[in-house]
Structure 1
């Protein structure tokens, strides 16, 4: 009856067919003649009593495909087709009507209790096919996966997120079936969903990525809060354009009666008085921050949790459409800035001045007048009224500045013992990986000298994360290793040069000091998180740096030392 993802099991096909029958969708033959009415979503059919399941979205989008062949099922090359539990990762691609379009990926449902993005995307795709936004259709090509957390999308329960007004059928849980918060997984890529998204980056190469959420925190007057891609080490000019887009859209929406502002929460002083507004994260493990390391714009969209379910869907729909309008209008400027950002990275290497920050700090962006709401809540935490609403002009710490900027090496060598474990992750991110024998032989080998190591006392994402401090030096650490680096192991190692388009990303994945890299996420705990019971000689360092750089200038050839290999 409908075109389904080939990975969906026969039992699911039967279930989907039953749901289609209940919802009253037309047959293939009637759609072929294009005389059928436009399909309705599940929540439209039942007057917002339930949010969509994976099957509901698939049936609705399949019905839309019958109306316009420019909408197709999207299967990224080399991507998982399902989650680990077998739930299909169903995505769709809508071709643009014009030439050389800007490509935009829109993600929804990553936290399955935050449902309005998933439901709004169905309405937006239908409107685009109905011809309501011709300027978007002409300039923008869209890929969307509305039920990104496919495990959670179908685990609907009225007990989930009771503080937000939900449909009677309830909403899904935040995490996937393994307890992974998928919005903290972009760097370590532990989940099939994340590997799907990384494959999408390589296949679709989006110029912008939206991630649709719902807020959890402060009682404020904004219908939508947003955040640009602030990942540490992103190109500053590209990030500036990202912020310009969002402030432009803020002005447009304000004129239409929709208050929006940068995502954040009220900040309190020691006397528990509000003294500011501050943002949250600048780590690339978030879906909306990661794009800046792929030379794309990113947008976190947070719908205000305390508005009604239909209101939240409508707010999301209006805001996402306006983002797309801005991108359509500024298509050429976005493409030019993306190209310029890549050129700036290449120019740093030509000038031998490649530098990146180890971290960022929140900084003052502006003073802004906020509505501070004193709510009346019911037993579930839902707002049923307001005691007062006060306007306060507050400093807004909603930007980030780079700190601890350092010169970076030519590249990294990864111990061949870890090759099978790390190569798939590095290549999934789009990095070029070579055999160690391809490293520049005239460059010194650098060894990491730790000055501090902090292993977390509790798990995050099921991992005891580790934070490392120290510096690269061209001399061996004082403590002897039980296994030596030899010329053979150097040649068989993985070599990841940073002088490549995604070298920024390679630095934050592989440098031991990275606050969001593979060392932090436990991929090399056998070396970097050895406990007191491990009293023998440690193995050799699993990551070496290639090429010494001091004060941003490569060491002169005469000062370079030959490879220091333990004998």
Structure 2
């Protein structure tokens, strides 16, 4: 999509567009948004579909924000029409099984190998005509600045995607949410099965609440056991189109999974994780 779409806008309208990002004094560089699927674009990608974030520059005039968004959407739709077959092929490939693949449970920003040129602007203070409050207005200034770009991610922890997850019946909140995401579930087999269960040896809890929850990071290790699963245990096959999503939600060390969102706190506080897996 990019840079083809943005190159066309530059040619037609003379405007410069670039990958979403921002700078800060705390950490030099051009940073995109967080990798975690709590951010909508990432979540759609985890469902094997394509998402494009469109965000106009905040300090532009209303007219310029509307026009820049219109041109962007028009070129995206034109590109999708021209490349429809390739897009369908990519989606089919993404829907294929991830069983046995190494997938990230935690990740961080990856620094670009060389500096990139970012066009930086300036703003001026104005009084809002109705409220009298101070607002900022973009000035006709464009300064090219070289800096490192942090627009992609690399894993810091990985796990091999299993064939199945087994969710114990007491983890009702996890089962309900998994189904709400559209992940297909079934009943676990009767009798003894070879599984891995996660032994929680410690956890940290965020001091500050985020969206009404204090996020949790669990620590521990997977151990292999043979056991009979209790009646009502739910089976989740990872060999389905939403296998990546199931992996992210159910892995205990996932930085945006059910454990992180404190959905399984009752079980984790007792030192056990109510989700097992089988390779």
Cα distance per residue 1:275-316 (max 9 Å; x no partner): 421212111111111111221111111111111222212221
Spell out the pairing of 1:99-178 with structure 2 (5 A cutoff).
none
Higher relative contact order at CA 8 Å, sep ≥6: structure 1 or structure 2? 2
Give the equivalent residue in structure 2 for 1:264.
21
| Aligned position for 1:254 | 10
CA contact (8 A) 2:59 2:137 kept: no
Question: Residue 326 of structure 1: SS of its match in structure 2?
Answer: helix
Which of 379, 385, 395 is matched with 2:148 structurally? 395
Q: Which of 95, 107, 110 is equivalent to 1:360?
A: 107
Please report how far the alpha carbon of residue 389 of structure 1 lies from its aligned counterpart in structure 2 after TM superposition: 4.6
Residue correspondences, number: 272
What is the deviation of 1:506? 0.5
TM-score (norm 2): 0.86
**Matches of 2:118 and 2:103, distance apart in 1:** 35
SS at match of 2:60: coil
Question: Which of 155, 167, 189 lines up with 1:437 in the alignment?
Answer: 189
Q: For each residue in 1:55-86, what CA deviation from the matched residue of structure 2 results, as whole angstroms up to 9, or x when unmatched?
A: xxxxxxxxxxxxxxxxxxxxxxxxxxxxxxxx
Does structure 1 conserve the Cα–Cα contact (< 8 Å) formed by 2:202 and 2:218? yes
Partner of 1:377: 125
* Mapped pair 1:283 → 2:36: yes
Equivalents in 2 of 1:435, 1:250: separation in Å? 49
**2:81 match: secondary structure:** helix
The structure where strand makes up a greater share of residues is 2
Q: Tell me, in whole angstroms, the C-alpha distance in 1 between the residues paired with 2:29 and 2:149.
A: 6
Structural mapping, 1:165-244, within 5 Å = none
Following superposition of structure 1 onto structure 2, how do residues 450-489 of structure 1 map, counting pairs within 5 Å?
Answer: 450-474=200-224, 487=228
Q: Which residue of 1 aligns with 2:168?
A: 415
CA contact (8 A) 2:35 2:153 kept: yes
Instruction: Decide whether the 8 Å contact of 2:200 with 2:221 is kept in 1.
Output: yes
Aligned partner of 1:543 in structure 2 is 275
Query: Per the alignment, do residues 363 and 463 of structure 1 end up closer, same or farther by CA in structure 2, a change over 3 Å counting?
Result: same
CA contact (8 A) 1:369 1:393 kept: yes
Describe the SS at the equivalent of 1:492. coil
**CA radius of gyration, larger in:** 1
Greater fraction of residues in helix: 1
CA RMSD of aligned residues (A): 2.6
Q: Which residue of 1 aligns with 2:94?
A: 341
In 2, Cα distance between equivalents of 1:545 and 1:465: 23
Taking structure 1 as reference, are residues 291 and 507 closer, same or farther at Cα in structure 2, changes over 3 Å only? same
1:515 aligned residue: 255
TM-score by length of 1: 0.45
TM-superposition CA deviations, 1:538-565 (whole Å, max 9, x none): 3854222234xxxxxxxxxxxxxxxxxx
1:423 Cα deviation from its structure 2 partner? 2.9
Q: What do the CA deviations read for 1:410-452 (whole angstroms, capped 9, x no partner)?
A: 3222121223x333321222211111226xx675221212354
Superposition deviation, residue 326 in structure 1: 0.6
SS across alignment from 2:230: helix
| Aligned counterparts of 1:355 and 1:544: Cα–Cα separation in 2 | 18
Alpha-carbon spacing, 1:388–1:339, altered in 2? closer, same or farther (3 Å): closer
Query: Which one of the candidate residues 323, 338, 343 is aligned to 2:76?
Result: 323
How many angstroms apart in 1 are the aligned matches of 2:212 and 2:202? 23
SS in structure 2 opposite 1:304?
coil
1:543–1:384 distance in 2 versus 1, CA, 3 Å: closer
Residue deviations 1:78-97 (CA, integer Å, cap 9, x gap): xxxxxxxxxxxxxxxxxxxx
Q: 1:474 to 1:384 in 2, by over 3 A?
A: closer
* More displaced stretch, 247-256 vs 377-386: 377-386
Whole-Å separation in 1 of the counterparts to 2:181 and 2:116? 38
